[in-house]
């Protein structure tokens, strides 16, 4: 078996997503395992870390046994030894840096959202296709253990006819007054590419459609629960994007579901993200790792409730753990391995740039619905 090295520019390597998920949990483990076996070859990633802070780059590189890093993006793009460009830097700069990478002849893999607007994404896709380059987008949540178990149930026909679904997400993000905020300030400004819908709704699109089928239309109500916050420098600023949103989703099948998302809610549910699917044959609710099921045989016959006496019923009883869906692999690593196989062999990729554009179009449709106060057709 021969070894083939692929040079990968990791732009935004000092950020949390870039340094933790894509380096520590994906590219470095692939390299440390001797590469990804593809046919008779082992594909070994060779990361070049790019960012603005030289000291942080050097520290991250040293922590992972890497030696190549740079604060000069143009120089990195000019290096023929690196044929792939990956972007995990600031969302509002994504189109510009991806355009530069495409012009330099690099294959691209990118975090979400793939651009600030779906039109910008389509322009990027057109440029990639004209250059004959490979492309991919990060859609990590579908590879979470809980979501994989949920998908396995659907493939096995557990639900029968799906009658509804509910996706809930969120936690309390401090405004910076009593405790430091757990999210960067740009998440709360439109100029920075922020807003809960743009940040999280791209994930909800592929989770829903990959599991349950095409979305027909949406209606959304969005709100700003915390209108003033304190940034990293201690300065107060006004929030000009939503931090909470609720959406009704109608599928092409006619099934109706709800998406409830908020950075201003305290957690009292099974997990930070849960997706429940109800079907004529049974129901299941998945979180990040666990998935619990209740089929018809285990479903209690609830006949009434008592307004004067607490019946003391634990409605979580009668639910059981779903079967495992196979060995766990970090979701970001799964995405990278899928992209590398596509890059080397041309095998179909599950999440290409077109999928990332559809994710973004869903977020746009929900924002447009919130602004118009009515149902919006979703045709991407």
Backbone angles phi, psi at 175, to 5 degrees: -85, 0
Q: Which residues, at least 6 apart from 353, have a Cβ–Cβ distance to it below 8 Å?
A: 108, 110, 114, 121, 124, 125, 128, 135, 136, 137
Report yes or no: 124 and 295 within 8 Å, Cβ to Cβ. Answer: no
- Count the alpha carbons within 13 Å of 251 in the hemisphere toward its beta carbon: 22
Peptide bond into 113 cis (omega under 30): yes
Exposure class string for 232-252: b at 16+ Cβ within 10 A, else e: eeeeeeebebbbbbbbebbbe
At residue 230, φ and ψ (nearest 5 deg) are: -120, 130
Protein fold of 141-329+360-377: Dihydrodipicolinate Reductase; domain 2 (3.30.360)
The pLDDT value given to residue 1? 73
Residues of the chain with CATH 3.30.360.10: 141-329+360-377
Alpha carbon dihedral 142, 155, 379, 129, in 10-degree steps, equals: 60
**Please, where in the chain does CATH 3.40.50.720 lie?**
2-140+331-347
Listed residue (134, 138, 137, 139) closest to 344, CA to CA: 134
Per-residue pLDDT of the chain (380 residues; tens, 9 = 90+): 789 999 999 999 999 999 999 999 999 999 999 999 998 899 999 999 999 999 999 999 999 999 999 999 999 999 999 999 999 998 889 999 999 999 999 999 999 999 999 999 999 999 999 999 999 999 999 999 999 999 999 999 999 999 999 999 999 999 999 999 999 999 999 988 899 999 999 999 999 999 999 999 999 999 999 999 999 999 999 999 999 999 999 999 999 999 999 999 999 999 999 999 999 999 999 999 999 999 999 999 887 778 888 888 888 889 999 998 888 999 999 999 999 999 999 999 999 999 999 999 999 999 999 999 999 999 86
Predicted local distance difference test score (pLDDT) of residue 303 = 78
pLDDT for position 305: 79
pLDDT of amino acid 338:
98
Provide the whole-model pTM. Answer: 0.95
Please tell me the distance from the alpha carbon of residue 139 to that of residue 208, in angstroms, as a whole number.
Answer: 12
The CATH-assigned architecture of domain 2-140+331-347 is 3-Layer(aba) Sandwich (3.40)
């Amino acid at each position: 078996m021969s070894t083939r090295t692929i040079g990968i520019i990791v732009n935004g390597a000092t950020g949390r997503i870039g340094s933790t998920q894509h380096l520590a949990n994906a590219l470095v483990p692939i390299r440390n395992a001797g590469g990804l076996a593809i046919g008779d070859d082992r594909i070994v990633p060779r990361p070049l870390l790019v960012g603005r802070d030289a000291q942080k780059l050097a520290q991250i590189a040293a922590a992972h046994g890497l030696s190549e890093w740079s604060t000069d993006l143009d120089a990195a793009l000019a290096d023929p030894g690196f044929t792939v460009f990956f972007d995990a830097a600031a969302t509002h700069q994504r189109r510009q840096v991806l355009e530069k990478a495409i012009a330099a002849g690099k294959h691209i893999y990118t975090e979400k959202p793939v651009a600030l607007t779906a039109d910008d994404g389509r322009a990027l896709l057109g440029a990639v296709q004209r250059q004959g380059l490979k492309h991919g987008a990060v859609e990590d949540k579908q590879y979470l253990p809980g979501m994989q178990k949920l998908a396995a149930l659907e493939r096995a026909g557990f639900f029968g006819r799906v009658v509804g679904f509910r996706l809930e997400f969120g936690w309390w993000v401090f405004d910076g007054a009593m405790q430091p905020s757990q999210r960067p300030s740009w998440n709360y400004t439109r100029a920075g590419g922020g807003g809960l819908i743009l940040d999280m709704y791209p994930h909800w699109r592929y989770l829903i459609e990959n599991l349950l089928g095409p979305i027909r239309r949406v209606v959304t109500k969005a709100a700003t629960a915390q209108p003033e916050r304190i940034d990293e420098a201690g300065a107060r600023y006004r929030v000009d994007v939503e931090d909470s949103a609720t959406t009704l989703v109608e599928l092409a099948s006619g099934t109706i579901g709800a998406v409830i998302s908020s950075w201003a809610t305290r957690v009292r549910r099974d997990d930070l993200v849960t997706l429940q699917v109800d079907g004529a044959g049974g129901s299941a609710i998945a979180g990040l790792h666990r998935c619990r099921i209740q089929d018809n045989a285990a479903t209690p016959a609830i006949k009434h409730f008592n307004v004067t006496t607490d019946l003391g019923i634990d409605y979580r009883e009668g639910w059981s753990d779903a079967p495992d869906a196979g060995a766990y692999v970090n979701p970001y690593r799964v995405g990278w391995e899928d992209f590398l196989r596509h890059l080397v062999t041309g095998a179909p990729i599950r999440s290409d740039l077109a999928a990332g554009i559809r994710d973004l179009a869903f977020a746009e449709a929900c924002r447009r619905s919130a602004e118009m106060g009515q149902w919006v057709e979703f045709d991407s």
